[in-house]
């Protein structure tokens, strides 16, 4: 099948074409970072309007790069949730309308399933079963994956997700938007010995996570530095380093527990935060020590993109799954609700 994938759940407009025989044919991405930077975060209404402006030109550009006609498409996959409701409806409406006009099936894809399956776009694909750490701006989850649609939630964040904590830390340190990469880049200049931040919820059993307290600890540390007239760029770097190490250590400890609990030795790490250098380094070391395997998407597919949606949707379309015209965007949607293939 030749499948067009459309991603529009937040602030990236992604379009891709995936061939179930040849693999990924073409993909394009437009990011709204500059649009939202002046506000310090994503403005949902602006995001929705920009998706509407960019979707059709991106679809046409992707078709041209793939050197195929729209009439050659066999199906369309689009992000149906979770995400911002207006942004989801923008992509869903375009996808459903195009599928109706071309008389081909369309399927709504779970955004996090797209991330979870993104490593399948690589030549070195993980075999089932595996443990997946999904870390993004809105999610921090540990999932046992036995197949596509066979998901068991092992642990979740009780408050802030890891990516959200990165963004809020960047905001309180006035590092600009997007926060995560800015914190990570400044942390490279930091002294890892100066501050020791807590590792949240590692002193109790279970696989749930919490990063709200770590964010508060960061704020208190920064305010104390200001009172001591030490609000220098180096102090910011030292705080970023301590914060990043705390997040990386916490995620590594939770992954180790999940692997031991489920008696598995194969780990997939996906979502925007999976691009973080320190987190990758810690998890690489963990799996090397365990003589196990760890898989990541390539860096361009860690953040939101159309390629992961095209791939995930193609697998469901191949299995005969599709949605009718009475589609609904789902801003909150559990992975465990998805049908298995």
Nearest to 210 by CA among 199, 197, 221, 195: 199
If you ran DSSP here, which 8-state letter would residue 97 be given? H
Indicate the annotated binding residues for substrate.
134-138, 167, 180, 276
Residue positions forming the annotated binding site for Fe cation: 111, 115, 304
Instruction: Point out the annotated binding site.
Output: 111, 115, 134-138, 167, 180, 276, 304
CB 274 within 8 Å of CB 308 = no
Could you say which DSSP state residue 160 is in? S
Contacts with 180 (C-beta within 8 Å, 6 or more apart), sequence order = 137, 163, 166, 167, 170, 272, 273, 276
Q: Nearest CA to 298 among 178, 120, 137?
A: 120
How many angstroms separate the CA atoms of 262 and 94, rounded? 41
Strand bridging mode 140-147 / 150-156: antiparallel
Q: Are 55 and 41 in contact (CB under 8 A)?
A: no
Contacts of 93 (CB under 8 A, 6+ apart): none
Count of CB atoms situated within 10 Å of the CB of 54: 19
**Residue 44 and residue 138 in contact, taking contact as beta carbons nearer than 8 Å:** no
């Amino acid at each position: 099948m030749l499948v067009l994938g459309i991603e529009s759940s937040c602030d990236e407009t992604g379009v891709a074409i995936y061939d179930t025989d040849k693999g990924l044919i073409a993909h394009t991405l437009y990011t709204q970072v500059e649009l939202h930077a002046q506000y310090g975060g994503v403005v949902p209404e602006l995001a929705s309007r920009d998706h509407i402006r960019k979707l059709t030109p991106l679809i046409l550009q992707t078709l041209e790069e793939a050197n195929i006609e729209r009439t050659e498409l066999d199906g369309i996959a689009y992000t149906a949730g979770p995400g911002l409701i207006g942004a989801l409806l923008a992509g869903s409406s375009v996808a459903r309308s195009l599928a109706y006009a071309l008389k081909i099936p369309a399927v709504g894809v779970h955004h996090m399933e797209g991330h979870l399956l993104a490593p399948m776009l690589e030549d070195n694909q993980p075999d089932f079963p595996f443990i997946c750490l999904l870390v993004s701006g809105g999610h921090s989850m540990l999932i046992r994956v036995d197949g596509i649609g066979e998901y068991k939630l092992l642990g979740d964040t009780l408050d802030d997700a890891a990516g959200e904590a990165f963004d809020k830390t960047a905001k309180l340190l006035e590092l600009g938007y997007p926060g995560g990469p800015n914190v990570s880049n400044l942390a490279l200049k930091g002294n890892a010995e100066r501050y020791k931040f807590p590792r949240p919820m590692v002193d109790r059993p279970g696989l749930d996570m919490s990063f709200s307290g770590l964010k508060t600890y960061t704020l208190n540390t920064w305010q104390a530095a200001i009172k001591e007239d030490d609000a220098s760029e180096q102090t910011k770097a030292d705080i970023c380093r301590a914060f990043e190490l705390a997040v990386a250590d916490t995620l590594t400890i939770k992954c180790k527990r999940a692997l031991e609990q489920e008696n598995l030795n194969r780990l997939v790490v996906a979502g925007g935060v999976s691009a973080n250098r320190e987190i990758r380094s810690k998890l690489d070391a963990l799996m090397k020590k365990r003589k196990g395997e760890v898989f990541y998407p390539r860096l361009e597919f860690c953040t939101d993109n159309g390629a992961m949606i095209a791939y995930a949707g193609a697998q469901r379309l191949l299995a005969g799954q599709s949605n009718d015209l009475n589609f609904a965007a789902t801003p909150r949607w559990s992975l465990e609700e998805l049908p298995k293939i």
